């Protein structure tokens, strides 16, 4: 199981990083991205802590860890600056908190995140065709979400992503232990979004693997 979108007590999750990693490891996770919510108020604190703990735990557990952030409910004009700043602070994954149908996200957030060059647009809701085309041209991944509420747009995201050739990731957006899932459940969520088993296999073996490789290379360089 590869999951590139999870949260800890460093933002609004309920587990310390070490417990999240332990629970993911027991469930058979091979790669875990810890991407706590940030804006200008907490980005330095969160990344300082995540980079440190991921470096430490990576030496002690048989699971690949990737420290990152989810830029969440930020003003549109902050995306470019905060994406670059997050990477300068050690974020090996930068996620844009997309225009989910379950929260009052600022209209235009999907486009601002894509233009800023984030790695993933999480739960992008009813993303427009133009935004999907731009994401595809920039190599930015769209998330198929396992999280309640955020998953409501999965079918729309999958349909447009397949039409215009974007990469996909299936993530849990975990905030607690009950949110972690098996690879079988991740596969079923992707099937429910309209992807075929062959497309899901390609996502895992090619698309997601490329993003994981790039993120781990960033981490190794810190």
Residues 88-106 have a mean pLDDT of 98
Residues 104-133 have a mean pLDDT of 98
State residue 203's pLDDT score. Answer: 87
Question: What structural domains does the chain harbor?
Answer: 2-220 (3.20.20.140)
State residue 32's pLDDT score. Answer: 98
What percent of the chain stands above pLDDT 90? 97
State residue 60's pLDDT score. Answer: 96
pLDDT at 205 over 90: no
Q: In which region does residue 123 sit, left (phi positive, over 0), alpha (psi from -120 to 50) or beta (all else)?
A: left
Residues 98-116 have a mean pLDDT of 98
Residues 100-106 have a mean pLDDT of 98
pLDDT at 204 over 90: no
What is the pLDDT of the chain when averaged over all its residues?
97
pTM: 0.97
The rounded distance, in Å, linking the Cα atoms of 104 and 158 is 22
């Amino acid at each position: 199981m590869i999951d590139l979108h999870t949260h800890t007590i460093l933002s609004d999750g309920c587990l310390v990083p070490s417990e999240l990693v332990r629970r993911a490891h027991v469930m058979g996770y091979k790669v875990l991205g810890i991407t706590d919510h940030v804006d200008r108020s907490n980005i330095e604190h969160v990344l300082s802590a995540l980079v440190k703990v991921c470096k430490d735990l990576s030496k002690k557990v048989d699971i690949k860890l990737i420290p990152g952030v989810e830029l969440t409910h930020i003003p549109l004009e902050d995306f470019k600056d905060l994406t670059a700043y997050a990477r300068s602070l050690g974020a090996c994954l930068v996620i844009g908190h997309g225009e989910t149908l379950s929260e009052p996200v600022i209209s235009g957030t999907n486009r601002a995140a894509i233009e800023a060059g984030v790695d993933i647009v999480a739960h992008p809701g009813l993303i427009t065709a133009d935004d999907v085309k731009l994401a595809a041209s920039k190599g930015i991944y769209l998330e198929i979400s396992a999280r309640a509420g955020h998953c409501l747009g999965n079918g729309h995201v999958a349909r447009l992503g397949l039409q215009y050739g974007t990469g996909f990731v299936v993530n849990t957006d975990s905030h607690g232990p009950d949110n972690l899932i098996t690879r079988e459940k991740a596969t079923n969520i992707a099937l429910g979004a309209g992807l075929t088993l062959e497309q899901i296999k390609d996502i895992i073996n090619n698309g997601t693997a490329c993003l994981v490789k790039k993120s781990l290379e960033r981490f190794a360089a810190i």
